[in-house]
Every structure is written in structure tokens, then in C-alpha cells.
Amino acid sequence: MDVISIRDMSKENIEDYLSLAEKMEKDLQNNSVKKIDGIISTLFFEPSTRTKLSFQSAAERLGLKVVDFIASLSSLKKGESFSDTVRMVDGYSDVIVVRHKLEGSARRAAEVAENPVINGGDGGNQHPTQTLLDLYTIKKLKGKIAGNEVHLVGDLKHARTMRSLAYGLAMFGAAVKLVAPKGLEMDLEMVEQIKKNFPSAKIEYLQNIDFSNADIAYVCRIQEERFADKYEAMSVKKKFRINPEYLTGVKDNFAIMHPLPKIDEIPPEIDDTKYARYFEQARNGIPMRMGLIKKVLEG
């Protein structure tokens, strides 16, 4: 049972994961987590803090053993192929979490591995477990996902979290507002696919940041390295910085989320406001990934 893309999941699948995360969170609070046997390998070819550590923490809390792959110390340095590395790690574990810079790498891993593969992010393509914990966070904050107005703000072209989340939000009936600098808009093909799959989806582009009607602002960084002109990059980053004045007149229960790491798109003074929920969001990765691992291993 692989977890590769949010687009492979039905609404019922996702609701099941949300329920499992809720149960896991209660079990953690009550110190009543039922342990399971097995070995999980974190096969990360790219740097990661939250995704890798939360998967490892989730696995430990479930009683699993963790095999940590470190690319710089592996046979990749000798020229071993991605597929061969996956096959070898597959023989040492019961489930693999893989992250790689190339789009489609997680699906390729699932093709060559006999055991389940979970996508921890493949290039600018998909990050399904991030979307699951994001939807779980929204449901916890708002009581439901449907009907909320969610603004996706930042580099929507390259951020894999945004692509997965836009799809999940539309599936559950949230209104999605896309706010990005010129040239960094979400691919029209992706938006059209969302509209095709969910004809009643409310998804539109906005030119400027305006949170007056927003329930959630989901922010990601502007990827400066994508710009040929660094002065233009600085100008765009300044415009898409969530300054305190943007919070004037917002709803009392307005919430700011972020997949992290944040650089300078959210200034430190925002962290201490009641609207900042991104650290809570990151902690929600533990129960969500615990439920996910349990489901993958036990069916």
C-alpha cells in the first residue's frame, strides 16, 4: 500500500487518515499507543528537518525500529543508481519513506520496491503527507475543511506543498485563492485538472494579498534562486512578506500556516501573535504520520 500522491486518494481515503490521526493524538495524550513491529527506512536524498524527524519520531512512538539513510555516506558516492539503492533498502525494511529532488522518483521507488513506499516529497511534484497534516490542522482549527476560504501565498509554481494542498482543499469544498508573484503562479494545467476533477471547486487567482475575508493564509517562501535578476527577487520578496499591517481587520480566528522552513516571508514578530499556527501545524505531523504508517503496514 504505497502513498505517492494526493491525487491517488479518494475523499474517503483522506477522511480515514484524518480519523486515524485524531485517534493517534488521543492515544498519545493518554499514553495508550498500541505498539507494532517492523522497520522503517527514511531514504532521504535531500535535506529535511520536519518531514524526516517527524516520520522517525512517529515510527519510534509506534515501537518501530528506524534505519536512517545518509546519502553522503552511502554507495551513491560510488555511482550506485537510485533504483538499486531502493532495492537494497527495501530488503532491510518493511516500509520506506523516500525524498528526492526528481519528480516521479517516489513512484519509481514504488515500482521497484516490494514493500510499501511513502512519498516524503519528490521535486516540485507532490508532498502527500504534508497535505494530510495540513488538512488535519485546518480541521482541528476550524472544525471542518469545507467552506473555509484558504489563501495560498508565495511561490506557487515550485512549491510541491501548494500543489498537493490545492488539490486536497478543492476535494473537500474549501474556497482556494491563489496569490503569487508574476511568473510564479500555479501551473494553469494543475488548476484546470483540479477544476475538471471537482467541477464545483472554488479556485481563483488574486493579484494582491488581502486577508480580510480569509480563514486561513497558507504561506510559502519566494524561491530567490529561481530569479535571474536578484534585484527583482528582493522586490518580490518584500511585496510577498506577511507584514503585521496585513493582519489589520482579519477575522478573530484567522490562522497563518506554513510548511516551514520560513526564511523572511514571515517576520519574527508574527510568531508571537495568536494567528501564527505553523509550529502547531508541524507538531500535527506526528499523529498524522503515526496513523499513516500504521495504516500502510496493517492495511
Q: How open is the CA angle 59-65-67, to the nearest 5 degrees?
A: 100
Let me know if 283 is a catalytic residue: no
Residue identified by cell 528506524 is 66
CA distance 271 to 172: 28
The single residue of 99, 151, 258, 277 carrying the catalytic annotation is 99
**Is 273 assigned a catalytic role?**
no
Choosing from 7, 50, 87, 262, the catalytic residue is 50
Task: Tell me what pLDDT residue 102 has.
Answer: 84
State the CATH architecture for 128-282: 3-Layer(aba) Sandwich (3.40)
* 3 state DSSP class of 290: helix
Q: From 3.40.50.150, 2.120.10.30, 1.10.10.10, 3.40.50.1370, which CATH number describes the 6-126+285-298 domain? A: 3.40.50.1370
Q: Are 51 and 282 in contact (CB under 8 A)?
A: no
Distance CA 227, CA 40 (A): 38
In the annotation, is 241 catalytic? no
Query: What integer pLDDT is reported at residue 124 of this predicted model?
Result: 64
pLDDT for 133 equals 96
Residue 239 vs residues 56, 184, 215, 233, 266: alpha-carbon distances, Å: 37, 13, 21, 10, 12
The one catalytic residue among 42, 51, 85, 137 = 51
Average pLDDT over residues 52-75: 90
C-alpha dist (Å) from residue 11 to 73, 132, 165, 237, 260: 40, 11, 13, 35, 26
In the block, which residue shows the cell 502547531? Answer: 280
- 221 in catalytic set: no
pLDDT digits 0-9 by tens, 159-172? 878 888 999 999 99
CATH topology match: 6-126+285-298 vs 128-282: yes
**Which phi and psi (to 5°) does residue 258 adopt?**
-160, 135
163 is annotated as an active-site residue:
no
Q: Give residue limits of the domains in the chain.
A: 6-126+285-298, 128-282
Q: At residue 244, what is the residue type?
A: P
Beta strand spans in 19-153 (E) = 39-44, 65-70, 95-100, 117-122, 149-153
Q: What is the mean pLDDT of residues 178-196?
A: 89
Read off the pLDDT of each residue in 187-199 and give the average, rounded to a whole number: 91
The length of the chain, given as a count of residues: 299
Asked if 191 and 160 count as a contact pair (C-beta separation under 8 A), the reply is no
pLDDT in tens, 218-265: 999 877 766 667 777 777 777 778 989 999 999 999 999 999 989 889
* pLDDT band with cut points at 50, 70 and 90 for residue 75: confident
Catalytic hit among 35, 78, 182, 196? 78
Out of 52, 127, 177, 289, the active site residue is 127
pTM of this structure: 0.92
